[in-house]
Amino acid sequence: MSSRVTLQVRRVRPNHPDPLPLPRYETALAAGLDLRADIEEERTLKSLERFAVPTGLALALPPGYEGQVRPRSGLALKHGVTLLNSPGTIDADYRGEVQVILVNLSQEPFTLRRGDRVAQLVVAPVTTAEIQEVALLDTTPRGEGGFGSTGR
C-alpha cells in the first residue's frame, strides 16, 4: 500500500494564455507524475544535443521527501531521448523552476513541442545519515573489489 503526501505546486508563469495541465498520474498505479515542456516555440535537438527544458513549475516538497526526476521509457525507446543527471533530485527546500535536462542520443533530430511529456517525477522519502568517522571499516567477502569484481 502506498502512502500519500501533499505536493504544493506553483505555476512559474501563471498568466500564460495556454496553461499546461498540472502534473498527474496517468494510471491508477503509476509511480511517477508526468512533467511537461513549458516552451513557446518548437525546439529541435540534434544528435547528442542537450537542453534544459523548463516545466513552468516550482514545487514545495514536504520535509523528509525528495522529487526524483526520471526519464520516460517511451521517449528513450522510440526516439533515443533520455535525461542527463538521472535521476535528478529536487530537494525539499528548492523553490525554483523545475527543469529537465534532455539529451538526444539517437542519430535523428528530435522535435520538442509545448506540452510534450518529457519526464516523470517520483516523490520519495529521504533517509538522512549521521556521519561517523572510523579508523577501520568492518570486513566483507567482497572487500575493496570494485567495478566488475563480482563477474558478469
Binding site residue list for substrate: 72-74, 85, 89-91
Which residues are annotated as part of the binding site?
Answer: 72-74, 85, 89-91
Q: Which three cell numbers stand for residue 43?
A: 525546439
